[in-house]
Amino acid sequence: MCGIVGAVSAKDSIAFLLEGLSTLEYRGYDSAGLAVINHGLQRARAKGRVAELAARVEQQALSGTIGIAHTRWATHGVPAERNAHPHISAGLAVVHNGIIENYEALREQLQALGYVFTSDTDTETIAHLIQACFKGEIGEPAENLFSAVQCAVKHLTGAFALAVVSEEEPDGLVVAREGSPLMLGITEEGHYAASDASALLSVTQQMMYLENGDVARLTRDAVVVVDAVGQPVKRDIVTSHLSANAVELGEFNHYMQKEMFEQPQALGNTLEMLSGAGQLHPGIFGADAQGVFEQVDSVLILACGTSSYAGMTAKYWIEQVAGIPCNVEIASEYRYRVSVPNPNQLGVVISQSGETADTLAALQHAKTLGHTHTLAICNVPESAIVRETALRFITRAGPEIGVASTKAFTTQLSALFLLTLLLAKGKQRLLEADEKAYLDELRHLPIAVEKVLALEPSIQAWSQQFANKHHALFLGRGRHFPVALEGALKLKEISYIHAEAYPAGELKHGPLALVDAEMPVVVVAPNDEMLEKLKANMQEVSARGGQLYVFADGDSKVRSTDGVKVLAMPEHYGLLSPVLHVVSLQLLSYHVALVKGTDVDKPRNLAKSVTVE
């Protein structure tokens, strides 16, 4: 959510700043801005995309070796040029990721000191606060920008990653972080900062990850870091394993398309440890996993959005295969509700980004309630969530840029299935022959997903019929109900068609009233123990004129008739069937969005990685 970059370089920084912003644009895309130091402070801002900013920068003929830049997802204040970052206080400019919770009180304090605000943002407060610290109007007069920022961050409550430049100090920039990610790029010719490693790849793979509470000063030749108590610290420089082409679009039209088609590879990478393995070892979740899996008596899953649907699917698996209770809670609810803690419960957080504010806070809340057994399933190894759990499994989906999550979801499912099997082993509930059969199925999963992706032309043909609809229903039963939820979410977020998902048996308890000839009803119909019940539910829809679009396993014996369209899934896949069925729903949403002409990768009002509450 929002993206920041900064540079102190031997050469002009504009190209790096704009390229970095383009890489981070999926994090927020309602306005963008940059500031450079070149005979004073110069700034360009624009409502809309980075391309609009680039045009402004050219018009204003900006250049400079030191600069900061920002792409915004609005929290405080509407998307508008005056609310775009950088925010300025006299000759000092700030870009900011995160939310300052005490900004109203600070704003009043700063207004009383004579500071005039020109935006509705919390960020402008930071700019004036640093200025007030610099001048000694708050605290002792600061020696330099570095100590002014150290003074200012002590007054901030909330989450932030900041980059600050001042025309008083035209040889460097200062950055700080608390709660929001920030890393530095280390090169011979200069130093760089960004809120996401991908934005640094155009200049280097050598990265220094700042810790919470760190403030750092970057000049061309040096980086100085102090920790939360002002002590100089050394942070390791690590080589990022991300490759620049992992975040490039290549032959695809959209990141979502690329990421859907990367799923076989992403699953293969995530399950790589299975190649040739006759059995599973708990060590894949961490050194202490075996003891924990034997000891815990239940599971609590915490996550948001698509990741929570992965958790809901796992609930069916864990209770059926491992035989222990599993609850799934929406992180933003759990963190505030009064719950009954159980120290013998395994707390599992699922997150693609590892930075989702609600999921992180829910994890921290669980820990304060006494949950010591914590486990993260996450796609970003260096993320805050991974650093805060005792056990972890890193999915190897690669960077996910499309706002609508696809490959992160299917790889999360594969990791959760591994967890299910290991919990079952820990409880002595998994026969050797069953373990072997499940491992074979997991190994075959990439090929099975390929076959679903090959259905694209037929799914594309269906998409035309959704494009002029305003509503859609998604039905599933059992472990495919979360798949229906995920299908509805995908359709909503990228095509803006209102979609709801129900466990099919619930239809007659209310939603059936919505069904008429204008209502497409998408049904996830695997050939499992619920199929006959599901067929009865489909009859209820047909009898009311509803239009059924059924994804049925080949042997489901559901036939296309008037008002019933059936697409045969290539393989029936038992417990792992949700992984296949969801891919067909991803393709459906994608093609409906294409017909509707929406911005698939950057849907309105949304952004990737929700680092604000």
Selected from 13, 351, 463, 495, the binder of ligand F6R by CB under 6 A is: 351
Selected from 263, 359, 537, 611, the binder of ligand F6R by CB under 6 A is: 359
Nearest distance, CB of residue 307 and ligand F6R, angstroms: 4
Q: Is 68 helix (H, G, I), strand (E, B) or coil?
A: strand
609 binds ligand F6R (CB under 6 A): yes
Q: Which of 402, 334, 360 is nearest to 612 (CA)?
A: 360
610 binds ligand F6R (CB under 6 A): yes
Q: Which of 344, 343, 350 is nearest to 329 (CA)?
A: 350
Nearest distance, CB of residue 352 and ligand F6R, angstroms: 4
For the chain, the distance separating the N- and C-terminal CA atoms, rounded to the nearest angstrom, is 11
Selected from 123, 306, 420, 537, the binder of ligand F6R by CB under 6 A is: 306
Catalytic (active site) residue 154 = no
Shorter beta-carbon distance to ligand F6R: residue 86 or 399: 399
Catalytic (active site) residue 304 = no
Handedness of CA 388, 393, 398, 400 (dihedral sign): negative
Selected from 4, 201, 404, 475, the binder of ligand F6R by CB under 6 A is: 404
Nearest distance, CB of residue 291 and ligand F6R, angstroms: 28
Nearest distance, CB of residue 405 and ligand F6R, angstroms: 3
Counting Cα atoms < 13 Å in the Cβ hemisphere of 324 gives 24
CB of 191 closer than 8 Å to CB of 237: no
Handedness of CA 382, 387, 390, 395 (dihedral sign): negative
Shorter beta-carbon distance to ligand F6R: residue 150 or 351: 351
Q: Which range binds ligand F6R by CB under 6 A, 159-167, 193-201, 303-311, 474-482?
A: 303-311
Selected from 9, 131, 353, 410, the binder of ligand F6R by CB under 6 A is: 353
Shorter beta-carbon distance to ligand F6R: residue 264 or 402: 402
Q: Which range binds ligand F6R by CB under 6 A, 60-68, 175-183, 231-239, 351-359?
A: 351-359
Rounded to an integer, what distance in angstroms lies between the CA atom of residue 447 and that of residue 115? 62
Find the helix or strand (DSSP H, E) in which 225 lies. Answer: strand 223-226
Selected from 352, 395, 584, 589, the binder of ligand F6R by CB under 6 A is: 352
Shorter beta-carbon distance to ligand F6R: residue 204 or 379: 379
Q: What are phi and psi of 32, to 5 degrees?
A: -150, 160
Q: Hunting for tokens 């750092």 — which residue is that?
A: 216
CA triplet 16, 266, 442: central angle to 5 degrees? 165
Q: Hunting for tokens 């989906």 — which residue is that?
A: 397
Q: Which range binds ligand F6R by CB under 6 A, 24-32, 138-146, 188-196, 298-306?
A: 298-306
Q: Which of 436, 441, 392 is nearest to 415 (CA)?
A: 392
Catalytic pick from 47, 407, 490, 608? Answer: 608
Shorter beta-carbon distance to ligand F6R: residue 129 or 314: 314
The pairing of beta strand 87-89 with beta strand 92-100: antiparallel
Q: Which of 277, 248, 246 is nearest to 439 (CA)?
A: 277
260 binds ligand F6R (CB under 6 A): no
Task: Provide Rg for the chain, Cα atoms.
Answer: 26
Selected from 33, 305, 347, 426, the binder of ligand F6R by CB under 6 A is: 305
Instruction: Give catalytic residue positions.
Output: 2, 608
Site for ligand F6R, rule CB under 6 A: 304-307, 351-353, 356, 359, 404-405, 489, 493, 609-610
